[in-house]
Structure 1
Amino acid sequence: MVYQIISYVLLAMKFYTYVLIARVLMSWVPDVERTSFGRVLYRITEPYLGIFRRFIPPLPLGGGYMDFSPIIAIFAWSFVIEGVAIVLKWLFL
């Protein structure tokens, strides 16, 4: 029973990784952000991504700016997933 709960928690966290990646890909096509799907993704991911945007400004690249904060956020999220997995397995298994 405990193993199933741990696997569901980790599955939900990995699913959020895919949501973050979808948000990054969605930013390449600006019209998608105006759809209902885009607004839902924005509401789900912006609280987490906003933390990184406060500390990592967009860098000038050619004629525009490149926002590297989502890349850093996804890497940080993968470390969080691994840390949670280790802690949950240590506590319950």
Structure 2
Amino acid sequence: MALQHQAGICWIKEEQWQRFIDVADDADMLENSWQEWAEKTEEMIITFAEKGIVVNKVPVDVESLIIWCNERERGINSSSRAEYVTQLMTTQPEKSDTRH
């Protein structure tokens, strides 16, 4: 049986999208709406699954992300989100929503 690779991806709820855009340092690099972002994220998950990589949607509360980044003096960007998601996956794996 082949070893399956896993990854996590930041998943923002639709009702938190505007707050997320307001605080993200890289908001100009993100999609214009939650719907566009969600569709792109789903496509990415499918692409990775086709390559044998299981991607877990990791629900991220925007206010918790802000606190986490501030405590570490980090900007809110793709790098810090990835690190935050990794921490959530290793400390609370039951909160992940596996999609493949």
> What is the TM-score normalised by the length of structure 2?
0.29
**Which protein is bigger by CA-based radius of gyration?**
1
The structure where helix makes up a greater share of residues is 1
Greater relative CO (CA pairs within 8 A, separation 6+): 2
The structure where strand makes up a greater share of residues is 2
